[in-house]
Structure 1
Amino acid sequence: MPGTAVSGHGRRAAPDPPVALGVPTVDSHTHLDACGCVTAEDVRAAMDRAAAVNVTRAVTIADDLDGARFAVRAAHWDDRVHAAVALHPTRTAAVSDAERAEIEELARDPRVVAVGETGLDYHWDHSPPEAQQREFRWHIDLAKRLGKPLMIHDRDAHADVLRLLREEGAPETVVFHCFSGDAAMARECVDAGYVLSFAGPVTFRNSHDLQEAAVLVPEDAFLVETDAPFLTPHPHRGRANEPYCLPWTVRGIAALRGVPAEDVADAARRNAERVFGLGA
């Protein structure tokens, strides 16, 4: 049962499932390996729990090379799962040519729908900014060469992320995973044609700037995600997250925008199908 799912990274056990959404939607960013999935059976069980609340597909994301290998395997194990592969900015202190070559090979797999998550993270000091920026530029180039969306991790680095995208020339499709900017940044991103993905923090009571951003983003420019096992939405903040928890975030965004939850869920599904080429 979901209430006894593996708790991630010291979090309390995952909550019981929410009421199912009235229409299907897509979790555009999750980490099934970090949720405790190891085998094909684990992946299917996690997606069965998600499907029970009408979260019918998910994109599982890589942080490092092992994660990239897993993400591709998981996407082949279950048709409801797609993959994104890259080296997380905190994993870029020392990257070899062999690692880049394998990431590129994995990214060419037809089940991989994005290059990510890549970007900049100035919150942690695991990798110096120079190394992060070098690898971010490489991932931008990779996404353009493969014609796949670029999925960005941006933590405390808004100005530099936007600057590097301008300097390198952004790929045709750019997704800001777990968007953390304010309304002004959201407007800048929307004007540039970027897609903003909202996760659990948009439901937190103190996230006023983020909530303003979620209201102004056009219906065709947002996605929804769990970033599981992290960032569990209100009212279960601090507990382990899984794709089946996404309805709480969908309903939180709907309340902010003053529309039915089904409108948000359906728009996010249509946007995910377009952005990631998932097909209807």
Structure 2
Amino acid sequence: MDFHCHLDLYPGARTVSEEASRRNQFTWLVTTSPRAFEATSKVLGHVPRVLITPGLHPELVEQRAGELPQLLKQMEQAIAVGEVGMDGSYRFKSSLPIQRKVFEAVVSRSRELGGRALSIHSRGAVKEVLPILLKNPRFGTAVLHWFSGTLAEVEIAHKIGCWFSLGPAAFASAAGRALATKLPRDRVVPESDGPFATEGGAPIQPWSMARTAELLAVSWGCSESEAVQTLTHNSGRLLTVMGWPGSP
């Protein structure tokens, strides 16, 4: 399972996608813009067990905000949306006002459509993202990708039903390892965030769930098999919530 991956951006994307389809029961291919969603759907839309979703990455919002109407239209036929969200890190902080406008529009549209699963980027902007979700009851299901908020924010996110997708790269820092111990175990699912996320200097592959379980086992103080079992069970539950046709 992989709940956040940029399959279309790997070198040799078709080959990697086909390998992910063979190895994974499910791979969530998040796109970075509406145009990328259209192009990727044409090239990789035939690959089994891969969900391709429309998105508008917050790092690109300043340049591609004009594509927002296209994204809102694409959402009508999608069961999930991603990558969307906000980024308050130094490089992108200046575009927060337009990021907020776009993210608010996406969450509001999700609510109007009866709810969608959203793969949400919130680096340096958790305090911006959570209030928008709170203002839109019945927006759907939030999957907070590579979450890096505070313990208080974890508790708020948990109370409003958020899930947390986590991959090997999240354990590279002491802060990331510490946070992993605090996440609610029944809401954690695996991700790779490849090819952007790396481990040992190499892009993390979409079939990295076993590695995530190995690292989580240390954080959780349990066996690797128990961590795998938890991730598998959680993944099945989330896929059912999402309405994925192949869910258990």
TM superposition score category, shorter chain reference: 0.7 to 0.9
Q: Which residue in 2 is equivalent to 1:192? A: 160
> In 1, are the aligned partners of 2:168 and 2:208 still within 8 Å (CA)?
no
Higher helix share: 2
If asked which structure has higher relative contact order (CA below 8 Å, sep 6+), I would say 1
Report the Cα distance in structure 1 between the residues aligned to 2:180 and 2:13, rounded to whole angstroms: 34
Task: Tell me, yes or no, if structure 1 residue 223 matches structure 2 residue 192.
Answer: no
1:72 equivalent among 35, 41, 59: 41
SS of equivalent to 1:175: strand
Q: Distance in 1 between matches of 2:130 and 2:109?
A: 17
CA drift at 1:212: 3.2
The answer to whether the Cα contact below 8 Å between 2:107 and 2:132 also exists between their aligned partners in 1 is no
Q: Secondary structure at the match of 1:212?
A: helix
Indicate how the Cα distance of structure 1 residues 188 and 60 shifts in structure 2: closer, same or farther if over 3 A, else same.
Answer: same
1:27 maps onto 2:5 in alignment: no
- Correspondence for 2:204 among 238, 241, 252: 241
Match of 1:267 among 221, 230, 233: 230
Please tell me whether the aligned partners of residues 89 and 127 of structure 1 are also in contact (alpha carbons under 8 angstroms): no
Residue of structure 2 in register with 1:87 after alignment: 56
C-alpha separation in 2, matches of 1:142 and 1:273: 26
**Percent identity for Structure 1 against Structure 2:** 23
Q: How many residues align?
A: 240
The answer to whether the 8 A contact 1:153-1:177 is kept is yes
Task: Output the CA distance in 1 between the equivalents of 2:150 and 2:181.
Answer: 11
Structure 1 alignment gaps of length 5 or more = 1-25
Q: Secondary structure at the match of 1:117?
A: strand
SS for the counterpart of 1:60 is strand
Runs ≥4 residues deviating over 6 A: none
CA–CA separation in structure 1 for the residues paired with 2:3 and 2:79: 10
- The CA distance in 1 between the partners of 2:71 and 2:158, in whole Å, is 29
Map of 1:207 onto structure 2: 174
Distance 1:190 1:126 in 2: 26
Q: Please list every run of 5 or more consecutive structure 2 residues that lacks an aligned counterpart in the other structure.
A: none
Deviation, 1:194, is 0.9
Q: Residues 175 and 42 (structure 1 numbering): CA distance in 2 closer, same or farther, change over 3 Å?
A: closer
Structure-2 change in CA distance of 1:105 and 1:271 (3 Å): farther
How far 1:29 sits from its partner (Å)?
Answer: 0.4
Give the distance between the partners of 2:234 and 2:41, measured in 1 at CA: 22
